[in-house]
Structure 1
Amino acid sequence: MSEDLCTQFSTPAPADTHRTATGSLSIILLSRGGAYTAGLTELSDLATRLETAMVAAGKPVQQITPAYVDRAQPTLTEALEQCAHAQTIVILPVMVPDEPSLRRWLHKLIMRWRAARDTSHPAPHLVFGQPLPLQPGLTELLTRAVDEALRQPAVPEVMADESWEHDPKGWSLVPEHQHHVLWCVGPRCAAKGALQLWPTLTRAIRETPGLKNRIQPLQTGCQYPCNHGPLMIVYPDGVWYGPMDAETIAPVLTRHVQDGQVDEARHVHGPRCLQRS
Protein backbone atom coordinates (compact mmCIF):
# COMPACT_ATOMS: atom_id res chain seq x y z
CA MET A 1 0.00 0.00 0.00
CA SER A 2 1.43 3.40 -0.93
CA GLU A 3 2.44 5.89 1.78
CA ASP A 4 -0.32 8.37 0.88
CA LEU A 5 -2.96 5.69 1.45
CA CYS A 6 -1.62 3.99 4.57
CA THR A 7 0.68 5.97 6.84
CA GLN A 8 2.82 4.17 9.39
CA PHE A 9 3.93 6.09 12.46
CA SER A 10 6.65 3.85 13.81
CA THR A 11 9.47 1.77 12.51
CA PRO A 12 8.12 -1.14 10.49
CA ALA A 13 7.17 -4.12 12.63
CA PRO A 14 9.45 -7.13 12.31
CA ALA A 15 8.11 -10.04 10.32
CA ASP A 16 6.01 -12.14 12.69
CA THR A 17 3.24 -14.44 11.58
CA HIS A 18 1.76 -14.30 15.09
CA ARG A 19 1.58 -10.54 15.30
CA THR A 20 -2.24 -10.51 15.05
CA ALA A 21 -2.67 -12.99 17.90
CA THR A 22 -5.13 -12.17 20.67
CA GLY A 23 -4.08 -9.08 22.60
CA SER A 24 -1.66 -7.75 19.99
CA LEU A 25 -3.98 -5.78 17.70
CA SER A 26 -6.41 -2.96 18.46
CA ILE A 27 -8.50 -1.04 15.94
CA ILE A 28 -9.88 2.49 16.17
CA LEU A 29 -12.85 3.39 13.96
CA LEU A 30 -12.44 7.13 13.44
CA SER A 31 -15.33 9.36 12.41
CA ARG A 32 -16.72 12.88 12.71
CA GLY A 33 -18.91 13.48 15.73
CA GLY A 34 -22.43 14.83 15.78
CA ALA A 35 -25.03 16.37 18.01
CA TYR A 36 -27.24 13.29 18.21
CA THR A 37 -26.66 10.13 20.22
CA ALA A 38 -27.99 7.89 17.44
CA GLY A 39 -24.89 8.57 15.36
CA LEU A 40 -22.64 7.63 18.26
CA THR A 41 -24.56 4.41 18.81
CA GLU A 42 -24.21 3.48 15.15
CA LEU A 43 -20.41 3.73 15.26
CA SER A 44 -20.29 1.66 18.45
CA ASP A 45 -22.52 -0.94 16.82
CA LEU A 46 -20.24 -0.98 13.76
CA ALA A 47 -17.25 -1.58 16.03
CA THR A 48 -19.06 -4.51 17.64
CA ARG A 49 -20.00 -6.03 14.28
CA LEU A 50 -16.44 -5.66 12.98
CA GLU A 51 -15.04 -7.37 16.06
CA THR A 52 -17.50 -10.25 15.65
CA ALA A 53 -16.59 -10.60 11.98
CA MET A 54 -12.86 -10.61 12.68
CA VAL A 55 -13.17 -13.23 15.40
CA ALA A 56 -15.28 -15.38 13.07
CA ALA A 57 -12.57 -15.04 10.43
CA GLY A 58 -9.92 -16.24 12.87
CA LYS A 59 -8.45 -12.75 13.38
CA PRO A 60 -9.12 -11.93 17.04
CA VAL A 61 -8.32 -8.46 18.30
CA GLN A 62 -7.65 -6.96 21.70
CA GLN A 63 -10.36 -4.35 21.18
CA ILE A 64 -12.15 -2.23 18.58
CA THR A 65 -13.20 1.20 19.74
CA PRO A 66 -14.93 4.17 18.10
CA ALA A 67 -13.30 7.61 18.19
CA TYR A 68 -14.25 11.05 16.94
CA VAL A 69 -12.22 13.94 15.58
CA ASP A 70 -14.77 16.50 16.82
CA ARG A 71 -18.08 16.99 18.69
CA ALA A 72 -18.04 13.67 20.55
CA GLN A 73 -16.02 11.37 22.77
CA PRO A 74 -13.86 9.44 22.93
CA THR A 75 -11.42 11.64 21.06
CA LEU A 76 -8.67 10.03 19.02
CA THR A 77 -6.17 10.73 21.81
CA GLU A 78 -8.44 9.05 24.36
CA ALA A 79 -8.91 6.04 22.09
CA LEU A 80 -5.15 5.75 21.61
CA GLU A 81 -4.73 5.67 25.39
CA GLN A 82 -7.34 2.91 25.61
CA CYS A 83 -5.43 0.88 23.03
CA ALA A 84 -1.92 1.74 24.22
CA HIS A 85 -1.06 -1.78 25.40
CA ALA A 86 -1.59 -3.36 21.98
CA GLN A 87 1.40 -4.20 19.84
CA THR A 88 -0.31 -2.71 16.78
CA ILE A 89 -2.98 -0.01 16.55
CA VAL A 90 -4.80 0.38 13.24
CA ILE A 91 -6.76 3.63 12.83
CA LEU A 92 -9.49 3.29 10.22
CA PRO A 93 -11.12 6.57 9.06
CA VAL A 94 -14.77 5.84 8.27
CA MET A 95 -15.88 9.37 7.40
CA VAL A 96 -17.04 10.88 4.13
CA PRO A 97 -15.91 13.16 2.64
CA ASP A 98 -12.20 12.77 3.25
CA GLU A 99 -10.40 16.03 4.05
CA PRO A 100 -6.67 15.80 3.29
CA SER A 101 -5.84 18.80 5.51
CA LEU A 102 -7.66 17.25 8.46
CA ARG A 103 -5.97 13.93 7.81
CA ARG A 104 -2.53 15.59 7.82
CA TRP A 105 -3.33 17.23 11.15
CA LEU A 106 -4.50 13.90 12.57
CA HIS A 107 -1.16 12.41 11.55
CA LYS A 108 0.55 15.15 13.60
CA LEU A 109 -1.73 14.45 16.55
CA ILE A 110 -0.82 10.76 16.44
CA MET A 111 2.89 11.54 16.28
CA ARG A 112 2.59 13.94 19.24
CA TRP A 113 0.76 11.29 21.24
CA ARG A 114 3.50 8.79 20.49
CA ALA A 115 6.24 11.29 21.39
CA ALA A 116 4.61 12.05 24.76
CA ARG A 117 4.46 8.40 25.82
CA ASP A 118 6.56 6.89 28.57
CA THR A 119 9.65 5.65 26.76
CA SER A 120 10.12 2.85 29.31
CA HIS A 121 7.27 1.00 27.60
CA PRO A 122 7.49 -0.11 23.96
CA ALA A 123 5.49 2.08 21.60
CA PRO A 124 2.72 0.43 19.59
CA HIS A 125 3.11 0.03 15.87
CA LEU A 126 0.70 2.72 14.60
CA VAL A 127 -0.96 2.54 11.19
CA PHE A 128 -3.43 5.06 9.75
CA GLY A 129 -5.62 3.35 7.16
CA GLN A 130 -6.63 4.82 3.85
CA PRO A 131 -9.72 7.08 3.67
CA LEU A 132 -13.06 5.36 3.23
CA PRO A 133 -13.78 6.85 -0.25
CA LEU A 134 -10.52 5.29 -1.51
CA GLN A 135 -11.15 1.83 -0.10
CA PRO A 136 -11.12 -0.94 -2.72
CA GLY A 137 -14.54 -2.46 -3.20
CA LEU A 138 -16.50 0.58 -2.00
CA THR A 139 -18.09 1.06 -5.42
CA GLU A 140 -19.23 -2.56 -5.48
CA LEU A 141 -20.63 -2.17 -1.95
CA LEU A 142 -22.63 0.90 -2.99
CA THR A 143 -23.91 -0.95 -6.05
CA ARG A 144 -25.26 -3.69 -3.79
CA ALA A 145 -26.78 -0.99 -1.55
CA VAL A 146 -28.65 0.44 -4.54
CA ASP A 147 -30.00 -3.00 -5.42
CA GLU A 148 -31.15 -3.48 -1.83
CA ALA A 149 -32.77 -0.02 -1.73
CA LEU A 150 -34.78 -0.80 -4.85
CA ARG A 151 -36.38 -3.68 -2.96
CA GLN A 152 -37.56 -1.40 -0.14
CA PRO A 153 -40.99 0.30 0.08
CA ALA A 154 -41.39 3.79 -1.37
CA VAL A 155 -41.04 6.69 1.07
CA PRO A 156 -44.78 7.52 1.36
CA GLU A 157 -45.48 3.93 2.41
CA VAL A 158 -42.75 4.06 5.08
CA MET A 159 -44.08 7.33 6.51
CA ALA A 160 -47.80 6.64 6.16
CA ASP A 161 -48.29 6.18 9.91
CA GLU A 162 -46.62 9.48 10.82
CA SER A 163 -48.01 13.02 10.94
CA TRP A 164 -45.62 14.31 8.32
CA GLU A 165 -47.61 17.38 7.21
CA HIS A 166 -46.71 19.60 10.20
CA ASP A 167 -43.82 20.15 12.59
CA PRO A 168 -44.33 20.69 16.35
CA LYS A 169 -45.46 24.24 17.22
CA GLY A 170 -42.72 24.47 19.81
CA TRP A 171 -40.14 24.61 17.02
CA SER A 172 -41.36 28.15 16.26
CA LEU A 173 -40.67 29.50 19.76
CA VAL A 174 -37.47 31.47 20.35
CA PRO A 175 -35.82 30.68 23.73
CA GLU A 176 -35.61 33.55 26.20
CA HIS A 177 -31.93 34.33 26.60
CA GLN A 178 -29.71 37.38 26.17
CA HIS A 179 -26.41 35.80 25.16
CA HIS A 180 -25.07 32.98 23.05
CA VAL A 181 -21.91 31.16 24.04
CA LEU A 182 -20.36 29.49 21.00
CA TRP A 183 -18.18 26.65 22.25
CA CYS A 184 -15.76 25.23 19.71
CA VAL A 185 -15.66 21.44 19.45
CA GLY A 186 -13.70 21.35 16.19
CA PRO A 187 -10.88 18.80 15.84
CA ARG A 188 -8.11 20.83 17.45
CA CYS A 189 -10.16 22.20 20.34
CA ALA A 190 -11.54 18.69 20.88
CA ALA A 191 -7.98 17.40 21.10
CA LYS A 192 -7.28 20.06 23.76
CA GLY A 193 -10.17 18.92 25.94
CA ALA A 194 -13.14 20.99 24.73
CA LEU A 195 -15.49 18.01 24.75
CA GLN A 196 -14.62 17.11 28.32
CA LEU A 197 -15.26 20.74 29.30
CA TRP A 198 -18.73 20.97 27.68
CA PRO A 199 -20.52 19.54 30.78
CA THR A 200 -18.58 22.03 32.92
CA LEU A 201 -19.83 24.89 30.71
CA THR A 202 -23.47 23.82 30.81
CA ARG A 203 -23.31 23.17 34.55
CA ALA A 204 -21.77 26.61 35.17
CA ILE A 205 -24.63 28.24 33.25
CA ARG A 206 -27.24 26.17 35.05
CA GLU A 207 -25.85 26.54 38.59
CA THR A 208 -24.23 29.99 38.68
CA PRO A 209 -26.51 32.79 39.95
CA GLY A 210 -27.04 35.40 37.25
CA LEU A 211 -26.30 33.06 34.33
CA LYS A 212 -29.23 30.63 34.26
CA ASN A 213 -31.79 31.47 31.55
CA ARG A 214 -29.56 34.29 30.26
CA ILE A 215 -27.12 32.21 28.17
CA GLN A 216 -27.75 29.74 25.35
CA PRO A 217 -24.67 27.47 24.94
CA LEU A 218 -24.09 26.15 21.42
CA GLN A 219 -21.43 23.83 20.07
CA THR A 220 -19.71 24.87 16.85
CA GLY A 221 -17.23 23.47 14.39
CA CYS A 222 -13.76 24.90 14.00
CA GLN A 223 -13.52 28.65 14.69
CA TYR A 224 -9.95 28.68 13.27
CA PRO A 225 -7.64 30.39 15.83
CA CYS A 226 -6.88 26.88 17.09
CA ASN A 227 -3.79 27.82 19.11
CA HIS A 228 -6.08 29.68 21.54
CA GLY A 229 -8.29 26.67 22.18
CA PRO A 230 -10.38 25.50 23.90
CA LEU A 231 -12.15 28.55 22.50
CA MET A 232 -15.49 30.22 23.19
CA ILE A 233 -17.19 33.33 21.78
CA VAL A 234 -19.79 35.31 23.70
CA TYR A 235 -22.45 37.05 21.59
CA PRO A 236 -23.96 39.56 20.93
CA ASP A 237 -20.78 41.28 22.15
CA GLY A 238 -18.49 39.25 19.88
CA VAL A 239 -15.76 38.63 22.47
CA TRP A 240 -13.49 35.62 21.93
CA TYR A 241 -11.99 33.88 24.97
CA GLY A 242 -9.32 31.21 25.30
CA PRO A 243 -7.75 28.99 26.24
CA MET A 244 -10.57 27.95 28.55
CA ASP A 245 -10.36 25.39 31.35
CA ALA A 246 -12.60 24.07 34.11
CA GLU A 247 -11.53 26.79 36.57
CA THR A 248 -12.05 29.78 34.25
CA ILE A 249 -15.40 29.08 32.57
CA ALA A 250 -17.74 30.24 35.35
CA PRO A 251 -15.65 33.31 36.39
CA VAL A 252 -15.22 34.52 32.79
CA LEU A 253 -18.92 34.15 31.99
CA THR A 254 -20.01 35.73 35.26
CA ARG A 255 -17.69 38.67 34.72
CA HIS A 256 -18.88 39.10 31.13
CA VAL A 257 -22.65 38.52 31.43
CA GLN A 258 -23.43 39.65 34.96
CA ASP A 259 -20.78 42.33 35.54
CA GLY A 260 -20.48 43.57 31.94
CA GLN A 261 -16.68 43.31 31.92
CA VAL A 262 -14.23 41.53 29.63
CA ASP A 263 -11.80 39.11 31.25
CA GLU A 264 -8.46 40.43 29.99
CA ALA A 265 -6.50 37.34 30.97
CA ARG A 266 -8.52 35.16 28.54
CA HIS A 267 -9.37 37.79 25.91
CA VAL A 268 -8.41 36.69 22.39
CA HIS A 269 -10.35 38.99 20.08
CA GLY A 270 -13.19 41.51 20.05
CA PRO A 271 -14.11 44.57 22.15
CA ARG A 272 -12.39 45.06 25.48
CA CYS A 273 -15.15 47.27 26.85
CA LEU A 274 -18.80 46.19 26.82
CA GLN A 275 -21.63 48.61 26.11
CA ARG A 276 -24.60 48.00 28.40
CA SER A 277 -27.82 49.99 28.02
Structure 2
Amino acid sequence: MSRRTVVVVRPTVSGIDEVATRRLIDQVRSAAQQDVRLAYLDVGSPSVHEVLDEAVVDGVSDVVLLPVAVPRDKYLTTWTRRAVANWSETRPAKQLTVTMHEPDSLADAVASHLGGLLDEPGTPIRDSPASYRSPAWSTIEAHDRHVLICKGPRCMAYGAGPLHRALTANSKNTETKVTGTGCLSPCNLGPLAIVNPPGEWYGHLHPEDASALVRDQVIAGGLAHKRVPR
Protein backbone atom coordinates (compact mmCIF):
# COMPACT_ATOMS: atom_id res chain seq x y z
CA MET A 1 0.00 0.00 0.00
CA SER A 2 1.43 3.41 -1.00
CA ARG A 3 0.43 6.82 0.31
CA ARG A 4 0.74 10.26 -1.23
CA THR A 5 0.17 13.64 0.39
CA VAL A 6 -1.18 16.48 -1.74
CA VAL A 7 -0.98 20.09 -0.57
CA VAL A 8 -3.92 22.02 -2.05
CA VAL A 9 -3.67 25.79 -2.49
CA ARG A 10 -5.92 28.44 -3.94
CA PRO A 11 -4.14 31.20 -5.88
CA THR A 12 -5.59 34.59 -6.64
CA VAL A 13 -6.91 35.27 -10.14
CA SER A 14 -3.63 37.02 -10.94
CA GLY A 15 -1.71 33.87 -10.03
CA ILE A 16 0.63 32.75 -7.28
CA ASP A 17 4.33 32.89 -6.50
CA GLU A 18 5.22 29.58 -8.16
CA VAL A 19 8.81 29.59 -6.91
CA ALA A 20 7.77 30.06 -3.27
CA THR A 21 5.01 27.47 -3.60
CA ARG A 22 7.34 24.86 -5.05
CA ARG A 23 9.90 25.65 -2.35
CA LEU A 24 7.22 25.01 0.29
CA ILE A 25 6.40 21.62 -1.23
CA ASP A 26 10.09 20.71 -1.41
CA GLN A 27 10.59 21.65 2.24
CA VAL A 28 7.58 19.58 3.35
CA ARG A 29 8.75 16.64 1.25
CA SER A 30 12.27 16.86 2.67
CA ALA A 31 11.12 17.19 6.28
CA ALA A 32 8.63 14.32 6.07
CA GLN A 33 10.63 12.10 3.71
CA GLN A 34 7.35 11.23 2.00
CA ASP A 35 5.70 11.52 -1.38
CA VAL A 36 4.30 15.09 -1.38
CA ARG A 37 2.70 16.80 -4.38
CA LEU A 38 0.95 20.10 -5.16
CA ALA A 39 -2.55 20.79 -6.50
CA TYR A 40 -4.53 23.95 -7.16
CA LEU A 41 -8.22 24.22 -6.35
CA ASP A 42 -8.74 26.76 -9.12
CA VAL A 43 -6.93 29.08 -11.55
CA GLY A 44 -3.69 27.04 -11.60
CA SER A 45 -2.65 23.57 -12.74
CA PRO A 46 -2.46 20.74 -11.89
CA SER A 47 -6.00 20.63 -10.55
CA VAL A 48 -7.20 18.32 -7.78
CA HIS A 49 -8.72 16.06 -10.44
CA GLU A 50 -5.47 15.89 -12.41
CA VAL A 51 -3.42 15.04 -9.32
CA LEU A 52 -5.84 12.29 -8.29
CA ASP A 53 -5.79 10.86 -11.82
CA GLU A 54 -1.99 10.87 -11.69
CA ALA A 55 -2.04 9.04 -8.34
CA VAL A 56 -4.12 6.25 -9.87
CA VAL A 57 -1.74 5.95 -12.83
CA ASP A 58 1.21 5.80 -10.41
CA GLY A 59 -0.40 2.96 -8.44
CA VAL A 60 -0.96 5.00 -5.28
CA SER A 61 -3.65 3.55 -2.99
CA ASP A 62 -4.13 6.37 -0.44
CA VAL A 63 -4.08 10.14 -0.91
CA VAL A 64 -4.21 12.61 1.96
CA LEU A 65 -5.14 16.18 1.03
CA LEU A 66 -3.81 19.17 2.99
CA PRO A 67 -5.62 22.40 2.04
CA VAL A 68 -3.24 25.21 3.04
CA ALA A 69 -4.34 28.80 3.66
CA VAL A 70 -3.57 31.29 6.43
CA PRO A 71 -5.94 32.27 7.85
CA ARG A 72 -8.21 29.29 7.22
CA ASP A 73 -10.10 29.60 3.91
CA LYS A 74 -13.49 27.91 4.20
CA TYR A 75 -13.97 28.11 0.43
CA LEU A 76 -10.75 26.17 -0.09
CA THR A 77 -11.67 23.34 2.27
CA THR A 78 -15.31 23.15 1.15
CA TRP A 79 -14.57 23.05 -2.56
CA THR A 80 -11.65 20.66 -2.11
CA ARG A 81 -14.08 18.18 -0.55
CA ARG A 82 -16.57 18.79 -3.35
CA ALA A 83 -13.86 18.31 -5.97
CA VAL A 84 -13.02 14.91 -4.48
CA ALA A 85 -16.72 13.96 -4.45
CA ASN A 86 -17.00 14.88 -8.12
CA TRP A 87 -13.80 13.01 -8.97
CA SER A 88 -15.12 9.86 -7.27
CA GLU A 89 -18.46 10.13 -9.07
CA THR A 90 -16.92 10.63 -12.50
CA ARG A 91 -14.23 7.96 -12.10
CA PRO A 92 -16.17 5.07 -10.52
CA ALA A 93 -13.76 2.45 -11.87
CA LYS A 94 -10.68 4.04 -10.30
CA GLN A 95 -9.75 2.72 -6.88
CA LEU A 96 -8.29 5.36 -4.58
CA THR A 97 -8.87 6.20 -0.93
CA VAL A 98 -8.87 9.98 -0.43
CA THR A 99 -8.92 11.67 2.98
CA MET A 100 -8.25 15.22 4.13
CA HIS A 101 -6.63 17.08 7.02
CA GLU A 102 -7.54 20.65 7.91
CA PRO A 103 -4.41 22.04 9.63
CA ASP A 104 -6.00 24.86 11.67
CA SER A 105 -2.80 25.11 13.73
CA LEU A 106 -1.07 26.79 10.79
CA ALA A 107 -2.64 30.12 11.74
CA ASP A 108 -1.28 29.79 15.29
CA ALA A 109 2.21 29.04 13.99
CA VAL A 110 2.17 32.00 11.61
CA ALA A 111 0.77 34.33 14.28
CA SER A 112 3.55 33.26 16.64
CA HIS A 113 6.19 33.90 13.99
CA LEU A 114 4.75 37.31 13.13
CA GLY A 115 4.63 38.21 16.80
CA GLY A 116 8.35 37.53 17.01
CA LEU A 117 8.97 40.12 14.28
CA LEU A 118 7.20 42.98 16.02
CA ASP A 119 10.31 44.17 17.84
CA GLU A 120 12.67 43.51 14.93
CA PRO A 121 13.77 46.29 12.56
CA GLY A 122 12.21 46.12 9.11
CA THR A 123 14.04 46.17 5.78
CA PRO A 124 14.13 49.60 4.12
CA ILE A 125 11.94 49.89 1.02
CA ARG A 126 13.81 51.36 -1.92
CA ASP A 127 11.48 50.55 -4.81
CA SER A 128 11.12 53.32 -7.36
CA PRO A 129 7.69 54.99 -7.56
CA ALA A 130 8.17 54.98 -11.33
CA SER A 131 6.83 51.42 -11.40
CA TYR A 132 3.35 52.88 -10.83
CA ARG A 133 3.78 55.16 -13.84
CA SER A 134 5.38 52.73 -16.31
CA PRO A 135 4.11 53.36 -19.87
CA ALA A 136 3.81 49.60 -20.29
CA TRP A 137 0.79 49.67 -17.94
CA SER A 138 -0.98 52.21 -20.16
CA THR A 139 -1.00 50.17 -23.36
CA ILE A 140 -3.77 47.75 -24.32
CA GLU A 141 -2.37 44.82 -26.26
CA ALA A 142 -3.61 44.96 -29.85
CA HIS A 143 -6.46 42.49 -30.44
CA ASP A 144 -9.75 42.16 -32.30
CA ARG A 145 -11.18 39.33 -30.20
CA HIS A 146 -10.97 38.58 -26.49
CA VAL A 147 -11.66 35.10 -25.15
CA LEU A 148 -12.30 34.84 -21.40
CA ILE A 149 -11.86 31.31 -20.05
CA CYS A 150 -13.31 30.45 -16.64
CA LYS A 151 -10.83 28.80 -14.28
CA GLY A 152 -13.06 28.41 -11.23
CA PRO A 153 -12.90 25.12 -9.29
CA ARG A 154 -15.65 23.36 -11.21
CA CYS A 155 -14.46 24.46 -14.65
CA MET A 156 -10.96 23.31 -13.68
CA ALA A 157 -12.45 19.95 -12.71
CA TYR A 158 -14.08 19.73 -16.13
CA GLY A 159 -10.82 20.46 -17.98
CA ALA A 160 -10.38 24.26 -18.11
CA GLY A 161 -6.63 23.89 -17.55
CA PRO A 162 -5.90 22.01 -20.81
CA LEU A 163 -8.47 24.21 -22.60
CA HIS A 164 -6.72 27.40 -21.47
CA ARG A 165 -3.36 26.05 -22.58
CA ALA A 166 -4.82 25.14 -26.00
CA LEU A 167 -6.45 28.56 -26.40
CA THR A 168 -3.20 30.31 -25.51
CA ALA A 169 -1.22 28.20 -27.98
CA ASN A 170 -3.74 28.79 -30.77
CA SER A 171 -3.84 32.53 -30.14
CA LYS A 172 -0.16 33.06 -30.91
CA ASN A 173 0.34 35.27 -33.97
CA THR A 174 -3.38 36.04 -34.16
CA GLU A 175 -5.50 39.06 -33.23
CA THR A 176 -7.14 37.16 -30.35
CA LYS A 177 -6.30 37.81 -26.71
CA VAL A 178 -6.92 35.00 -24.19
CA THR A 179 -7.46 35.70 -20.49
CA GLY A 180 -8.10 33.22 -17.68
CA THR A 181 -10.59 34.38 -15.05
CA GLY A 182 -12.07 33.29 -11.76
CA CYS A 183 -15.53 31.75 -11.60
CA LEU A 184 -17.90 33.13 -14.24
CA SER A 185 -20.85 30.77 -13.60
CA PRO A 186 -23.01 28.92 -14.64
CA CYS A 187 -20.58 26.27 -13.47
CA ASN A 188 -22.54 23.21 -14.63
CA LEU A 189 -21.82 24.23 -18.23
CA GLY A 190 -18.04 24.24 -17.81
CA PRO A 191 -15.49 24.53 -19.17
CA LEU A 192 -16.95 27.91 -20.05
CA ALA A 193 -15.69 30.73 -22.27
CA ILE A 194 -16.94 34.15 -23.37
CA VAL A 195 -15.93 35.45 -26.80
CA ASN A 196 -15.92 39.23 -27.29
CA PRO A 197 -17.13 40.45 -29.67
CA PRO A 198 -19.96 39.53 -29.96
CA GLY A 199 -20.19 38.61 -26.25
CA GLU A 200 -21.29 35.03 -26.82
CA TRP A 201 -20.92 32.30 -24.19
CA TYR A 202 -19.82 28.73 -24.95
CA GLY A 203 -19.99 25.74 -22.64
CA HIS A 204 -18.82 22.11 -22.38
CA LEU A 205 -15.67 23.01 -24.31
CA HIS A 206 -12.68 20.80 -25.06
CA PRO A 207 -9.08 21.63 -26.03
CA GLU A 208 -9.83 20.67 -29.63
CA ASP A 209 -12.38 23.53 -29.76
CA ALA A 210 -9.66 26.12 -29.15
CA SER A 211 -8.74 26.83 -32.77
CA ALA A 212 -12.35 27.55 -33.81
CA LEU A 213 -12.86 29.92 -30.88
CA VAL A 214 -9.63 31.81 -31.44
CA ARG A 215 -9.97 32.10 -35.21
CA ASP A 216 -13.68 32.97 -35.34
CA GLN A 217 -14.60 29.70 -37.05
CA VAL A 218 -17.40 28.68 -34.70
CA ILE A 219 -19.73 27.55 -37.47
CA ALA A 220 -17.04 25.83 -39.52
CA GLY A 221 -15.62 24.29 -36.37
CA GLY A 222 -18.96 22.79 -35.38
CA LEU A 223 -19.25 24.77 -32.15
CA ALA A 224 -22.61 26.43 -32.77
CA HIS A 225 -24.33 23.82 -30.58
CA LYS A 226 -22.04 24.76 -27.69
CA ARG A 227 -23.23 28.36 -27.66
CA VAL A 228 -25.02 29.09 -24.38
CA PRO A 229 -28.22 31.12 -24.80
CA ARG A 230 -28.65 34.13 -22.51
In the superposition, the TM-score normalised over structure 2's length comes to: 0.82
Corresponding residue for 2:18?
Answer: 40
User: How much has 1:124 moved relative to structure 2?
Assistant: 3.7
SS at match of 2:207: coil
Equivalent pairs, count: 224
List gaps (5 residues or longer) in structure 2.
none
User: How much has 1:254 moved relative to structure 2?
Assistant: 3.0
SS at match of 2:178: strand
Corresponding residue for 1:54?
Answer: 32
Alpha-carbon distance in structure 2 between the residues aligned to 1:81 and 1:42: 25
Q: List aligned pairs for 1:60-99, cutoff 5 A.
A: 61=34, 63-84=35-56, 85-96=59-70, 98=72
Q: List aligned pairs for 1:77-226, cutoff 5 A.
A: 77-84=49-56, 85-96=59-70, 98=72, 100=74, 103-115=77-89, 116-118=91-93, 123-130=95-102, 132=103, 135-136=104-105, 138-148=107-117, 150-154=119-123, 157=124, 159-160=125-126, 162-167=127-132, 168-206=134-172, 212-213=174-175, 215-226=176-187
Amino acid in the other structure paired with 2:167? L
User: How much has 1:186 moved relative to structure 2?
Assistant: 0.8
Amino acid in the other structure paired with 1:203? A
**What is the aligned counterpart of 1:248 among 197, 204, 209?**
209
In the superposition, the TM-score normalised over structure 1's length comes to: 0.70
- State the Cα RMSD in Å: 2.8
Deviation readout 1:169-219 (Å, 9 max, x if unpaired): 221122222332111111111111111121210222225xxxx12x22111
Corresponding residue for 1:237?
Answer: 198
Alpha-carbon distance in structure 2 between the residues aligned to 1:25 and 1:241: 39
Percent sequence identity is 25
Alpha-carbon distance in structure 1 between the residues aligned to 2:162 and 2:42: 12
Q: Which has the larger radius of gyration?
A: 1
Runs of 4+ in 1 over 6 A off after TM superposition: none
Amino acid in the other structure paired with 2:40? Y
Alpha-carbon distance in structure 2 between the residues aligned to 1:101 and 1:34: 13
Amino acid in the other structure paired with 2:115? V
Contact 2:9 2:41 in 1 (8 A): yes
Evaluate the alpha carbon distance shift between residue 48 and residue 228 of structure 1 in structure 2; reply closer, same or farther with a 3 A threshold: same
Contact 2:150 2:183 in 1 (8 A): yes
List gaps (5 residues or longer) in structure 1.
1-22, 56-60, 271-277
Higher helix share: 2
Alpha-carbon distance in structure 2 between the residues aligned to 1:263 and 1:80: 30
